[in-house]
Amino acid sequence: MNPGMDRRAFLGWALGGSLSLSLRPLAGLGSLGSLSGGDSNFLVILNLAGGNDGLNSFPPLHLPLYRERRPRVHLGPEECLAPKLGTKPAPRRFHPSLAQLARRFEAGQMAILQKVGYPKPNLSHFVSEDIWSLGLRHAPKGKKKGWIARLMDAHLPDPRMVLGIGTGQKLDFQGGRQVPFLVSSKTEIGVPTDTLHPLVSRYIFEHQKADLQRLRLPPGALSEVAKVQKLAFASVEETRKQLARYVSNVVYPKSRLGQDLRLAARFLCTGFPTRLVYTQLGGFDHHRDQGRHQGRQADLLRDVDQSLHAFLRDLEAHGLLDRALVLVVSEFGRRNYDNGSLGTDHGEGNDLWVLGKSVRPGFLGPDLETKDLQGENLPYALDFRRVYAQALQRHLHLDPKPVFPEEPEAALDLPFLR
- Residue 116 within a domain: yes
Chain Cα centroid distance, residue 120:
24
Handedness of CA 302, 183, 263, 386 (dihedral sign): negative
Asked if pLDDT for residue 224 goes beyond 50, the answer is yes
Work out the pLDDT band at 285, boundaries 50, 70, 90. very high
Asked if pLDDT for residue 200 goes beyond 60, the answer is no
Least confident of 8-12, 141-145, 365-369: 8-12
Averaged pLDDT for residues 382-404: 98
Asked if pLDDT for residue 14 goes beyond 90, the answer is no
Averaged pLDDT for residues 91-95: 98
Q: What gap in Å lies between CA 40 and CA 324, rounded to an integer? A: 9
- Residue 230 within a domain: no
- Residue 208 within a domain: no
| pLDDT of res. 2 | 47
Across 176-307, the runs of DSSP E, i.e. the strands, are 181-183, 276-281
Q: What gap in Å lies between CA 411 and CA 350, rounded to an integer? A: 17
Q: What gap in Å lies between CA 337 and CA 124, rounded to an integer? A: 18
- Residue 91 within a domain: yes
Averaged pLDDT for residues 114-133: 97
| pLDDT of res. 409 | 85
| pLDDT of res. 308 | 98
Work out the pLDDT band at 287, boundaries 50, 70, 90. very high
CB 263 within 8 A of CB 165: yes
* CB hemisphere CA count around 332 (13 angstroms): 27
Asked if pLDDT for residue 218 goes beyond 70, the answer is no
Asked if pLDDT for residue 374 goes beyond 80, the answer is yes
CB 225 within 8 A of CB 14: yes
3-state SS assignment for residue 69: helix
| pLDDT of res. 143 | 85
- Residue 217 within a domain: no
DSSP assignment letter at 355: E
- Residue 118 within a domain: yes
Best-predicted range by mean pLDDT (36-45, 202-211, 277-286): 277-286
User: Which uninterrupted H or E stretch holds 262?
Assistant: helix 256-269
Give the number of domains in the chain.
Answer: 1
User: 318's torsion region: left (phi>0), alpha (psi -120 to 50) or beta?
Assistant: alpha
Averaged pLDDT for residues 180-190: 76
- Residue 410 within a domain: no
Q: Tell me which residue range forms the domain holding 368.
A: 43-156+275-395
Least confident of 60-69, 201-210, 343-352: 201-210
71 exposure class (CB count in 10 Å sphere: 0-12, 13-18, 19+)? exposed
The percent of residues in the chain predicted with pLDDT above 90, rounded, is 71
Q: Provide the whole-model pTM.
A: 0.87
DSSP assignment letter at 288: S
Asked if pLDDT for residue 52 goes beyond 60, the answer is yes
Work out the pLDDT band at 206, boundaries 50, 70, 90. low
Q: What gap in Å lies between CA 331 and CA 366, rounded to an integer? A: 20
| pLDDT of res. 352 | 98
- Residue 361 within a domain: yes
Q: Between these two residues, 142 and 319, which has the higher pLDDT value?
A: 319
| pLDDT of res. 141 | 84
| pLDDT of res. 241 | 84
For the chain, give the mean pLDDT. Answer: 87
The percent of residues in the chain predicted with pLDDT above 70, rounded, is 79
Describe the chain by its helix, strand, coil percentages, rounded to 5: 40, 15, 50
Q: For residues 162-192, b (16+ Cβ closer than 10 Å) or e, as one string?
A: bbbbbbeebbbbbbbebbbbbbbbeebbbbb
Q: What gap in Å lies between CA 128 and CA 334, rounded to an integer? A: 13
Work out the pLDDT band at 1, boundaries 50, 70, 90. very low
